[in-house]
Amino acid sequence: MPNVPVVQSEKDFQGAVRDYGMLRGWTIFLTYRSTHSPAGEPDLRMVKPPRVIFAELKREDGKTTAKQKAALDLLGQCPGVETYLWRPSDWPDIERILA
């Protein structure tokens, strides 16, 4: 059984995903202050050549905005770019994808 992190907030979840990704050798880019970012920009950009991942992170009950959905869709149309909308319940998939 995977070690699913207990998260209280989206920030905690982002920290867990970031820490796990770095442990698995990914370079992680994130925006600390979304007030200076375009609306809809995904929370994490992750690079481990030859792979590139854009991930939007939400609490279990968190809602995605239309701009977040549109950004993931647009990025997902680019060859070789992986896009994900992850929630804490997706932890087993996150571990598999970032392995």
The position carrying tokens 């992680």 is: 28
The residue assigned the tokens 């979304």 is 34
User: pLDDT tens across 78-98, in order?
Assistant: 999 999 999 999 999 999 999
pLDDT of residue 36: 66
Give pTM, 2 decimals. Answer: 0.87
Residue ranges of the domains in the chain?
A: 10-98
Q: Give the chain's mean pLDDT.
A: 91
Per DSSP, 99 falls in state: -
pLDDT above 90 covers a percentage of the chain that reads 78
- What's the CATH code, domain 10-98? 3.40.1350.10
pLDDT on residue 1: 44
Question: Is the C-alpha dihedral spanning 89, 5, 13, 55 positive or negative?
Answer: negative
Q: What's the mean pLDDT in 8-17?
A: 90
CA–CA distance, 96 with 99 (Å, rounded to integer): 5
Closest alpha carbon to 40 in 85, 6, 88: 85
